[in-house]
Amino acid sequence: MNQNQLTSLLEQMTTEEKVGQLIQLATPFLKGASDGGQITGPMVGMGITEEVVQNTGSVLGASGAKEIKNIQETHLKDNRLGIPLLFMSDIVHGYKTIFPVPLAVGCSWDLDLAERSAEIAAIEAAVSGIHVTFAPMVDLVRDPRWGRVMESTGEDPYLNSEFARAFVRGFQGDFENDNQRVASCVKHFAAYGAAEGGRDYNTVDMSEWQLRENYLPAYKAALDEGCEMVMTAFNILNGVPSTGNKTLMRDLLRKEWDFDGVLISDWGAVKELIPHGVAEGEKEAARKALEAGVDIEMMTECYVNHVQQLIEEGSLDESLVDEAVLRILKLKQKLGLFENPFRGADEQLENELILSKEHRESARELAAKSAVLLKNEQVLPLDPSQKIALIGPFADNHDILGPWSWLGSKDDTITLDKGIQSYASEVKIAEGSGVETSSNIQLDLALKAAEESDVIVLALGESSDMSGEAGCRADIRLPQVQLELIQELKELNKPIVTVLFNGRPLDLHGVIHETDALLEAWYPGTEGGQAVADLLYGTSNPSGRLAMSFPHSVGQVPVYYNHYNTGRPKNAPDAQERFVSQYLDSPNGPLFPFGYGLSYTTFTYDEVTISSQELKEGETLTITTRITNSGEKAGEEVVQLYVRDTTGEVVRPMKELKNFERISLQPGEEKEVTFDLKEEDLRYYHSNLEYKSDRGQFEVFVGPHSKQKSSVSFQLIK
Ligand code: BGC
């Protein structure tokens, strides 16, 4: 179908049919679904008639080639104009081959593997009939109390933007010509990651300057990479809910950024304009959301019950509806649905491709690269001859896939005990405690196993419902029973290696000093237990680097590396003892900074050299250093380049990540790493929101993490 045919299709549509395209319903509403017709819970009161279902434009959460083909086939018979349905789902970090959660992927600093993980997720989803994934989530995050930090790639706008691009490339590929890719929907627009107090769905209030400097770049990067759709956020932004926010969607997204793809509300977010207190009822909510630019209303009924009346009354311009419908039809056309409504759905390919050996190998590789070694007092790697006591609630727990792995199965998941058993000659397994509750029997068994061992491997963490959406915590320590378990084991004076399975940077009080080694494994996915064992036994060398700072305690939150200096910085040479920006009872900085992570080998950096002391517009500076693997194992290092603009028109961060490179070195091997820096890389938002650079002095830092001190400097000449 070409543009003219789409327009003529639109002309044939009744208002009801048009409005139908603007609604997204869950699978149970659809005839042809295996659970079709089972309208339960809040769905009952939505007043969705059979006619509405026949006109519906898209479906949320269906999966499986057979199921989706059935729904589509039935729908095409019922829909007067034969307009195919769009199937959308949250395929966030894998379909059935589950990859580590996005925060973990962020810690891999490996864009190629991240792209490949999204590609594999897309392949598995597409052969199962899905057309659009609600990913990537690119909300910048600074507050680990927020459960959804695990869905993001962390605290840095540059790193987030690079991952946003990689994920979009992976999901979409050439989806217009390739049925084994899906369209991608970036979310949540905008600044959902800044919810006050780290509490989900909560208020966001920030200057436009801050928004543009840190929070918007990753959404923009996804769109620059060709991302087809955008999802609104639940939060208000500067007083106006994102889902009814004209400035955000019409002015910024549509006009300034020229986005002409489909904009969908988050789940129920149109109707939430009512409890937010900016719409009196459903009718006003529908008008506000449409006027603000929301094309599809997800899972509530404001559009379907009120848009037609709004048009008839003359209080809503029908052209807004037409525009929205046309955008949706265009997406259907791009996906090739008018020619082939079943698109990639294929039962045979599902059998061949889903959880294939190749897909699982990629998941194992990415899980190994995502884990971050935070401490190692010469206990790791383990030796297969050592007797192991594997203790803790995650010792043989399948709950290591993390939130948004709704299609991942327990039976396909490699748990830690399985992984360790593939190496160790002797392993005794005991829980010791549950995730949040415990019993004396469990503890006794654990102590006995520990006494008979050479090394204790302690598998601790948060169950997956302790993070993710609505999984916020005000206390981000491990649950008390787990802290007690460590204390008990510590009494035995055996080496303790702790592995953490969790979704956020934790407050490590009660863990970090008590343990001899600590590996942050996050929720590592289907191959998680194997990948962690590979790391513990040194088959893989840890190379993950934190994409989000670990605070000393929750009282410091938010703590992030790219903060400003303040007028009274604590470490200034002339700083007073008291009247400086500090806590009396805690350091200012994090326990483990952004970019940090250990390896089983050591990397030595030569002095950094710079091609010139001056940079002029149109020129390129090169910054070079040589890195040597000075240890005894092959390993990978993430070389990071940071810049500080020492004087700006507005304040500048203490450091800003500008580039990085992951290199692989054999023992004794050395490599030169060169980064380019141009005037464009030094631009920032001024107080009048102009985006440009200023002449003056810049410092450059190259090293293994964001606390790197040694630097070179140059002048930007204008
Ligand atoms: C989440 C979105 C998700 C949507 C659909 C919402 O509750 O905030 O991230 O895409 O549900 O499942």
Which residue's C-alpha comes closest to atom 5 of ligand 1?
267
Q: Respond yes or no on whether the N-terminal peptide bond of residue 241 is cis (omega within 30° of 0).
A: no
- Pick the atom of ligand 1 nearest to 134's CA: 10
Choose one of 24, 63, 89, 90 to mutate for the ligand 1 pocket test, by most ligand atoms within 8 angstroms of C-beta. 90
Q: What is the pLDDT of residue 36?
A: 76
Q: Where are the beta strands (DSSP E) in 404-516?
A: 426-430, 455-461, 496-501
pLDDT reported for residue 41: 67
Closest residue CA from atom 2 of ligand 1: 266
Ligand 1 centroid to 708 CA: how many Å? 38
Beta strand spans in 280-422 (E): 297-298, 372-376, 387-391
pLDDT at 575: 85
At 640 the three-state DSSP class reads strand
User: CB of 243 within 8 A of CB of 232?
Assistant: yes
Looking at the DSSP assignment, which residues form a beta bridge with residue 245? Answer: none
Is residue 37 scored above 70 in pLDDT?
no
| 90 touches ligand 1 (CB under 6 Å) | yes
Q: How far is CA 143 from CA 140, 518, 589, in A?
A: 10, 22, 14
Average pLDDT over residues 216-236: 98
Residue 166 sits at the vertex; the CA angle it makes with 129 and 128, to the nearest 5 degrees, is 10
Instruction: Give me the percent of the chain exceeding a pLDDT of 70.
Output: 99
The model's pLDDT over 557-580, given as tens digits with 9 standing for 90+, comes to: 999 999 999 999 998 888 888 999
State the distance from the centre of ligand 1 to the C-alpha of 146, rounded, in angstroms.
Answer: 15
Q: Which helix (H) or strand (E) holds 127?
A: helix 111-127
Query: 363 C-alpha to center of ligand 1: Å?
Result: 24
pLDDT at res. 554: 97
pLDDT the model gives residue 42: 62
CA contacts within 13 A on the Cβ side of 44: 4
- Exactly one of 90, 156, 266, 399 is catalytic; name it: 266
Residue 48 has pLDDT above 90, yes or no: no
**Closest CA relative to residue 350, chosen from 129, 626, 83, 625:** 129
Sort 26 into a burial class: Cβ within 10 Å, 0-12 / 13-18 / 19+: middle
Ligand 1 pocket residue status of 469, Cβ below 6 Å: yes
Which atom of ligand 1 is least distant from the CA of 187? Answer: 9
Mutate which of 93, 132, 134 to test ligand 1's pocket (most atoms within 8 Å of Cβ)?
A: 134
β-pair type (496-501, 455-461): parallel
Other Cβ atoms within 10 Å of 251 Cβ, number: 14
Counting Cα atoms < 13 Å in the Cβ hemisphere of 661 gives: 15
90 has pLDDT over 80? yes
- Report the C-alpha gap between 61 and 65 in whole angstroms: 13
Report how far residue 99's alpha carbon sits from residue 95's, in angstroms, rounded to the nearest whole number: 9
Q: Does ligand 1 come within 6 angstroms of the Cβ of 187?
A: yes
Q: What is the mean pLDDT of the chain?
A: 97
475 has catalytic annotation:
no
Establish whether residue 267 lines the binding site of ligand 1, counting it when its CB lies within 6 angstroms of any ligand atom. yes
DSSP annotation of 607 reads P
The answer, yes or no, to whether residue 39 has pLDDT greater than 90, is: no
Q: What is the mean pLDDT of residues 189-213?
A: 98
Q: What is the 3-state secondary structure (H, E, C) of 503-523?
A: CCCCCCCCCCCCCCEEEECCC
Q: Tell me if residue 318 falls in helix, strand or coil.
A: helix
For 268-400, where are the E strands, in sequence order?
A: 297-298, 372-376, 387-391
Atom of ligand 1 nearest to the CA of 61: 12
Map residue 249 onto helix, strand or coil.
helix
CA of 137 to the centre of ligand 1 (A): 10
Atom of ligand 1 nearest to the CA of 234: 8
List the structure tokens of 503. 């979704």
Nearest residue to 608 (alpha-carbon basis) of 584, 639, 574, 653: 639
Q: What is the DSSP string of 560-572?
A: -TT----SS-TT-
What was the pLDDT predicted at 576?
86
Closest CA to 204 of 254, 276, 134: 276
Is residue 389 within 8 Å of 498, Cβ to Cβ?
A: no
In which residue are the tokens 């002029």 written? 616
Res. 709 pLDDT band, cuts 50 70 90: confident
Residues 6+ apart with CB under 8 A from 283: 302, 305, 306, 309, 310
> Alpha-carbon distance 534 to 555, whole Å?
35
266 lines ligand 1 (CB under 6 A): yes
d(CA 377, CA 626): 27
Tokens encoding 254 = 């549509």
For the domain covering 601-717, report its CATH number: 2.60.40.10
pLDDT of residue 46: 82
Question: Could you identify the atom of ligand 1 that is nearest to the CA of residue 135?
Answer: 10
Give nearest CA residue, ligand 1 atom 8: 266
What is d(CA 259, CA 331) in angstroms, rounded to the nearest whole number? 13
Percent of the chain with pLDDT over 90: 95
266 Cα–ligand 1 center, Å: 6
End-to-end CA distance of the chain: 52
714 CB within 6 A, ligand 1:
no
pLDDT band for position 38 (cuts 50, 70, 90): low
* Residue 354 predicted with pLDDT over 90: yes
* HSE-CB of 496 using CA atoms within 13 angstroms: 25
Tokens linked to 478: 């491990």
CATH number for the domain running over 357-536: 3.40.50.1700
pLDDT in tens, 370-422: 999 999 999 999 999 999 999 999 999 999 999 999 999 999 999 999 999 99
Residue-level pLDDT at 571: 86
pLDDT in tens, 147-159: 999 999 999 999 9
Question: Residue 45 — very low, low, confident or very high, per pLDDT cuts 50/70/90?
Answer: confident
Q: Is the pLDDT of residue 710 over 80?
A: no
Task: Give tens-digit pLDDT for 462-487.
Answer: 999 999 999 999 999 999 999 999 99
Centroid of ligand 1 to alpha carbon of 267 (angstroms): 6
- Residue 134 Cβ inside 6 Å of ligand 1? The answer reads yes
Structure tokens at 682: 């030094």
Which burial class, exposed, middle or buried, applies to 151 when counting CB atoms under 10 A from its CB (0-12, 13-18, 19+)? buried
Atom of ligand 1 nearest to the CA of 299: 5
Strands 614-616 and 711-717: parallel
Residue 526 has pLDDT above 70, yes or no: yes
Q: Check: CB of residue 31 under 8 Å from CB of residue 312.
A: no
Nearest CA to ligand 1 atom 7: 267
Please tell me if the CB atom of residue 189 comes closer than 6 angstroms to any atom of ligand 1: no
Residue nearest to atom 10 of ligand 1 (CA): 134
Kindly give the distance from the C-alpha atom of residue 243 to the centroid of ligand 1, in angstroms, as a whole number: 13
Predicted confidence (pLDDT) per residue in 3-30, tens digit: 899 999 999 999 999 999 999 999 999 9
CA of 573 to the centre of ligand 1 (A): 49
Residue 192 Cβ < 6 Å to ligand 1:
no
Summarize the confidence of residues 514-522 as an average pLDDT: 98
Distance 161 CA to ligand 1 centre (A): 21
Domain ranges of the chain: 357-536, 601-717
Distance of alpha carbon 272 from alpha carbon 442, whole angstroms: 45
